[in-house]
């Protein structure tokens, strides 16, 4: 059986018995805690100095983006890139789908998207203006076609069909400019 008893109020004698001997120590810190404070202060000052240096140091010069290393005639380089992209798109969009219809569609989209980037990377300032403009427009059209296809827009959609016709027209125009 458990009994509950009311306890008496604490007195000086009872509280003195429960006080720890450390409560009577002096308020002056010991030598062992002094070196910890000094070390913490040194680390904090070093961190503040490094942060200030990182904030105020001059920014390193970043090299300007360079045109893909190309040698030879700029028109030839652009036309070679166009032929490569046109071939890739034709191969990937006219492949025999067999049981992998989704795979062929994915490869065709990848060829268009990657081809657009490839074409733009192979343009350089020496490319004739009419050819460069046609390639930039063609590349933008390929990106639009592939992104809309990835978004589920079918080729029968009016806007997508227009994009496809425009791309085919530009492809023919670029081929003529490359002759």
CA-based nearest residue to 86, from 125, 119, 128:
119
- Quote the CA–CA distance of 100 and 88 in Å, as a whole number: 18
What is the per-residue pLDDT for 82?
Answer: 95
Q: Which residue has the tokens 């509280």?
A: 15
Q: Give percent of the chain above pLDDT 90.
A: 47
Lowest mean pLDDT among 13-27, 104-118, 122-136, 145-159: 13-27
- Quote the CA–CA distance of 166 and 47 in Å, as a whole number: 60
Q: Which residue has the tokens 């910890």?
A: 36
What three-state secondary structure class fits 95?
coil
CA 99, 141, 119 angle in degrees (round to 5)?
90
62 band by pLDDT with thresholds 50, 70 and 90 = low
CA-based nearest residue to 171, from 71, 56, 76, 86:
86
Look up residue 103 and give its two tokens.
């795979």
Average pLDDT estimate for 140-169: 93
Q: Is the pLDDT confidence value at 173 over 90?
A: yes
Look up residue 4 and give its two tokens.
């509950």
Question: Using CA atoms in the order 144, 150, 156, 159, what is the torsion angle rounded to 10 degrees?
Answer: -30
Average pLDDT estimate for 151-166: 93
């Amino acid at each position: 059986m458990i009994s509950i008893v009311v306890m008496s109020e604490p007195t000086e004698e009872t509280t003195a018995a429960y006080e720890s001997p450390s409560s009577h120590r002096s308020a002056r810190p010991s030598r062992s805690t002094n070196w910890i404070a000094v070390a913490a202060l040194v680390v904090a000052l070093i961190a503040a100095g490094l942060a200030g240096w990182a904030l105020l140091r001059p920014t390193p010069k970043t090299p300007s983006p360079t045109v893909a290393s190309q040698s030879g005639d700029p028109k030839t380089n652009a036309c070679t890139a166009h032929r490569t992209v046109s071939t890739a798109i034709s191969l990937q969009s006219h492949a025999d789908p067999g049981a992998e219809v989704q795979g062929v569609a994915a490869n065709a989209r990848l060829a268009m998207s990657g081809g657009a980037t490839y074409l733009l990377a192979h343009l350089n300032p020496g490319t004739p203006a009419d050819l460069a403009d046609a390639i930039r427009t063609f590349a933008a059209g390929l990106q639009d076609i592939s992104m809309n296809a990835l978004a589920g827009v079918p080729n029968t959609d009016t806007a997508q069909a227009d994009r496809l016709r425009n791309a085919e027209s530009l492809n023919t125009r670029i081929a003529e400019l490359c002759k």
